[in-house]
Chain A
Amino acid sequence: TQLLEQSPQFLSIQEGENLTVYCNSSSVFSSLQWYRQEPGEGPVLLVTVVTGGEVKKLKRLTFQFGDARKDSSLHITAAQPGDTGLYLCADTGANNLFFGTGTRLTVIP
């Protein structure tokens, strides 16, 4: 059974700080997705990474896929209160998504 571990579980930072959250798998990802979920809403897809070593940028968010395709990181530059939410990684798998447990980020104004 695949294990997807996300760290840290909780993170609270001041507005303007930088941060990195991590997603590690016990097996090779098929491809990896990052989602953000705001309170009271469903997750929203941020990015899909497919190739080992791939780096994608989405405004202040930088996503990196490990060379061996077993880990990924999400770096946020100059965090803003609007970045607050639960960040989930997911393996696309054979037919469906398999989610990690998430990192709950709070950005304090």
Chain B
Amino acid sequence: NAGVTQTPKFQVLKTGQSMTLQCAQDMNHNSMYWYRQDPGMGLRLIYYSASEGTTDKGEVPNGYNVSRLNKREFSLRLESAAPSQTSVYFCASGLDYEQYFGPGTRLTVT
């Protein structure tokens, strides 16, 4: 089992560019999540999907969109990147509050 995988691992964007972060899980979990982690801020929830076909906003959704493509895959899109979106992004999947995290994507927006 690979668990939760994320691509890419690193990315540098210029302000205004767009990109999609990919996430996949092989644990057959219904729920999937996207977080961002900034120094001194802990992890903050961007969006989550409680089941295939549903998505909901978390604490910091502005500037992001998500797609739950199927049960395995949950992508995060930045339509017009801003320097404030420089962060480390983690995808997670879960069952009954036990969440399993991917290795993260380190994104820098210049």
Q: Residues of A contacting B33 with CB < 8 Å?
A: 96-97
For chain B, give the interface size range: 20 to 34
Given known pairs A88-B42, A95-B50, the reply for A42 and B97 (CB within 8 Å) is: no
Q: Residues of B contacting A95 with CB < 8 Å?
A: 48, 50, 56
Given known pairs A42-B103, A95-B50, the reply for A31 and B42 (CB within 8 Å) is: no
Complex Cα distance, B102 from A44, in Å, reads: 10
**B44:A41 contact, CB within 8 angstroms:** no
**A101:B42 contact, CB within 8 angstroms:** yes
Count of CB-CB pairs between chains A and B under 8 Å: 50
Return the CB mask of B42-74 against A: 1 if under 8 Å, else 0: 111100101000001011000000000000000
Distance from B10 Cβ to chain A, minimum over Cβ atoms (Å): 11
B4 interface hit (Cβ, 8 Å): yes
Given known pairs A42-B4, A45-B98, the reply for A97 and B42 (CB within 8 Å) is: no
Q: Residues of B contacting A45 with CB < 8 Å?
A: 98-100
Q: Residues of B contacting A43 with CB < 8 Å?
A: 43, 90, 101
Q: Residues of A contacting B103 with CB < 8 Å?
A: 40-42
Given known pairs A33-B97, A48-B98, the reply for A41 and B104 (CB within 8 Å) is: yes
Complex Cα distance, B101 from A43, in Å, reads: 6
> CB-nearest residue of chain A relative to B99?
A97
**B42:A100 contact, CB within 8 angstroms:** yes
Q: Residues of A contacting B21 with CB < 8 Å?
A: none
**A48:B42 contact, CB within 8 angstroms:** no
